[in-house]
Structure 1
Amino acid sequence: MTDQPALFLGIDTATPWRTVGLWGESHGRSVLRWRATHSQGRDLLPKIEEILASSGCSTKDLTGVAVAAGPGSFTALRVGVSVAQGLGMGLEIPVVPLGTLEIYPPLLAERGMRTTVLVPARNGEVFAQCFDRNGDGRWIPQTDLGCWPVDRLNSTIENPGLIIGPGLHHYAEEVQSCYGGEAEIGEETFRTPDGSSLAELGWLKWKRNPEGFPADDVQIEYHQSHGALTIEERKGGTSR
């Protein structure tokens, strides 16, 4: 496998905007996106089969799988990670987990040096994190990943740069109002995940540590919103 050009599959089920994609050193990119249904993931395997078939590939051609591992929808995350692990263990290939928010900055290509990613949580809250592009083009987190009410974002991230991510599908107007009408809001292209970009990020991460991503050891980062805390957690002021 190491003598052949790498081919990675990307899977993202973290939000209602689902995607699978392929990225390969000689393959290039291919991607499928769709809006989630109530099937709780029954459409995921058919989409993977579809993108492999349309690209002239099979699962046996895969070098590895990259998967969005949270935060996001609890059930949907488990579905995506379970499918990724099933493929990884069955094919004896690595499974590379990626944070849901770190998937979006690379979509900007050469645009901008700072961005804030928003992913919908619950009860008017969003998961948010700010990233800066460093000298070699990599996006580096500048804030911890957090979950906040949309109307308090400006007190948490004062200088957001270009705001992107699927949270804008729900809260674009509220975000603009929060920043006094002066926020730079990313267009539709930067609000939905791209499975091929996810696959490439997974490949880059794996390339730096080829032995570090066993398929049976993927941790889901739920990072619950305040609206999802238990009664005891709310009393104690803690989150999981």
Structure 2
Amino acid sequence: MTYILNIETATKNCSVAISKDGKTILCKEMAEEGYSHAEKLHVFINEILSEIEISCKDLSAVAVSQGPGSYTGLRIGVSAAKGLCFALDIPLIAIDTLEVLASQIKVTNGIIIPMIDARRMEVYSAIFDSKLNKIREVRAEIIEEDSFSTFDLPIYFVGDCASKCKTVLTKENFIFLEDKIYPSAKEMCALSYEKFRNNDTVDVAYFEPYYLKDFVGTFSKK
């Protein structure tokens, strides 16, 4: 019996799920403009463990969304995951955030392009086939009229970029699934269990989120 705690904080969605042998048992999540991850993450973890009546000691591993995404959100999620793994002496599993987002939809043909907003017309994106095999690596890219124009297959876009991208990406084979906005820990459960079975884990001490771009802070003028 394998219980894995799955943590997804790469976007505005603060999401936590517990899986048993790869199946989602319970998920708690909240997406807010103000990024409530610091306040909600540990509350969700404690509530889930309590509701399914297990303790941290019953966990076989912790999985965390590795990015790309919000610098602050990723730091909060990874710090929590690493702290639990260190204290419990259990493995840490890192899951590609864009793969988590792409996993929300099931299609029989075409390709899936998950996108996470990176401000202005820039997005973090990757390309998957209908079987969720990654056919193009993660990139930070500026969306332009000819972006993805080399594909003639149906292209399904998921993520929080629909409103800014659909006015630019207007080809007939471009399909925006606007109800699939944020990655969720629910979709991490099968992915993390597969990695656990294959002993595909990361070093708790040295693992860092995949930011893709350097963090640029802002400072108030005095």
TM-score (norm 2): 0.84
1:131 Cα deviation from its structure 2 partner: 0.3
SS of the aligned residue for 1:42 comes to helix
The equivalent of 1:59 in structure 2 is 56
Asked if 1:105 is matched to 2:95, the reply is no
1:29 Cα deviation from its structure 2 partner: 2.6
Asked if 1:199 is matched to 2:189, the reply is yes
Partners of 2:9 and 2:49 lie apart in 1 by: 18
- Segments of 5+ residues of structure 2 without an aligned counterpart are 218-222
The number of residue pairs the alignment matches comes to 214
The equivalent of 2:202 in structure 1 is 213
2:10 to 9, 14, 39: 14
1:162 Cα deviation from its structure 2 partner: 1.1
**Partner letter of residue 101 of structure 1?**
L
Q: Give the superposed CA RMSD.
A: 2.5
- Residues 75 and 55 from structure 1, CA distance in 2 versus in 1: closer, same or farther, beyond 3 angstroms? same
The equivalent of 2:158 in structure 1 is 164
Partners of 1:85 and 1:128 lie apart in 2 by: 26
Structure 1 stretches of 4+ with a deviation exceeding 4 A read 110-113
Partners of 1:60 and 1:52 lie apart in 2 by: 10
Partners of 1:39 and 1:19 lie apart in 2 by: 11
Matches within 5 A, 1:73-152: 73-109=70-106, 112-134=109-131, 139-152=132-145
Asked if 1:185 is matched to 2:176, the reply is yes
TM-score (norm 1): 0.78
Q: Conserved in 2, the CA contact under 8 Å of 1:129 and 1:146?
A: yes
- Residues 207 and 146 from structure 1, CA distance in 2 versus in 1: closer, same or farther, beyond 3 angstroms? same
**Partner letter of residue 224 of structure 1?**
K
Percent of pairs with identical residues: 25
Any idea what the Cα deviations from partners look like across 1:49-74, whole Å, max 9, x if unmatched?
11222222221211111111111111
Any idea what the Cα deviations from partners look like across 1:69-97, whole Å, max 9, x if unmatched?
11111111111100000011111111111
**Partner letter of residue 221 of structure 1?**
Y
SS of the aligned residue for 1:147 comes to strand
